[in-house]
Amino acid sequence: MVVDDSAVIRGLISRWLEADSMIQVVASAHNGAMALRNLVSSGAEVVILDVEMPEMDGMTALPKIIEAAPHVQVIMASTLTRRNAEISIRAMSAGAADYIPKPESNREVNAAQHFRHELLEKVKALGAVARGRLRKGQTQGQSPRPAAPRPAVTPVTPPVMQSRVALRPERPAVLTLQKPSSVLPRIVTIGSSTGGPQALFKVLGGLGKGISVPLLITQHMPPTFTTILADHLARATGIPCHEGRDGERIEPGTIYLAPGDFHMTLEDRATGPIIRLNQEQPENYCRPSVDPMLRSVLKIYGPATLSVILTGMGSDGLSGCRDVVQAGGSVIAQDEASSVVWGMPGAVSNAGLASAILPLDDISGTITRYLQGVRR
């Protein structure tokens, strides 16, 4: 379901979605009230929800949608303003699965194509999440919602729009674990994407203010959003947190968040490691990307690197975590049950790279134990 007060944007998004044979637009609405009236009868699995609309805006509609259909996945759509970034991050804390920066109708074609790629990828991944949750609900005796009829199609993704979701490795019959590093970690790195903001609040909030090492985070987010997220994390956790600045020396007990549209890496100096930002080519369709961050950290910290991979689509961080393990460091992955999308942590877990695969609630305690040299 596409919910936006602009007929132009509704039509544009709907055409892009319908062009993919794996997606059907079952309804559209010009405000939240209309969306709620049609939600259950439409059989929608994913709702793309505009932030600013007349009569009932996105933030007002969000909790009502979640209450009416708990398995439905909501993607907030907003233009890149500071106010809308604030609202979108609050929406994710209130239960939205993800967000997408909405293109203006007069944006350049390249920007629109990037939006289209990201939109299709997120809708397909979150549609799978919704179906999985609906199946679980049915097995527990809940009544299934009526589903809209769907045409018989052969799923084909055009090469130019190849999704990161398809890059997940096959799951082995049994997940294997690595032994934790025997070296005390001197830095913690975190990679996250879809569902990441909520996960970051939980993990970082559980660490406490006395953390003794620097923390580097790459969360897949656009500019402005990362600025707001860093502010929210600092307020919520009490730990100093800000976007990394080029040339800045990293300090223990501080959280550095990769700015939107920049890879954040480290460079060793005589006075200590400093942050370097660059706009080199995206990796795994992402900028910022987890892999370049991990490669640069390993050059300095080697086996003293502790990497944490949280919920997110695709496989960003897989290559970097493989390097972490080869260097003698440790990897912690979020488990499938607590992840919004088990793409990034699933790729690491399926590859046998994790020393621990944990529910979200257990990750901060495990980080703390590793930092104290307790490896169980």
Q: Which of 28, 88, 193, 338 is catalytic?
A: 193
Tell me, rounded to whole angstroms, the distance of Cα 87 from its chain centroid: 17
Residue 217, Cβ neighbours under 10 Å: how many? 30
Rounded-to-integer distance, Cα 138 and Cα 144, Å: 6
Helix (H) or strand (E) holding 29: strand 28-29
What is the maximum alpha-carbon separation in the chain?
64
Q: Is 349 a catalytic residue?
A: no
Rg of the chain on CA atoms, in Å: 21
User: Counting every residue, how long is the chain?
Assistant: 376
Helix (H) or strand (E) holding 14: helix 7-18
Q: Which of 316, 330, 335, 338 is catalytic?
A: 316
Judged by DSSP in three states, 255 sits in strand
Q: Is 316 a catalytic residue?
A: yes
Q: Is 5 a catalytic residue?
A: no
User: Which DSSP string corresponds to 338-356?
Assistant: T-SSBSHHHHHHHTT--SE
Q: Which of 14, 71, 98, 220 is catalytic?
A: 220
Judged by DSSP in three states, 224 sits in coil
Rounded-to-integer distance, Cα 236 and Cα 246, Å: 25
Catalytic residues: 193, 220, 316
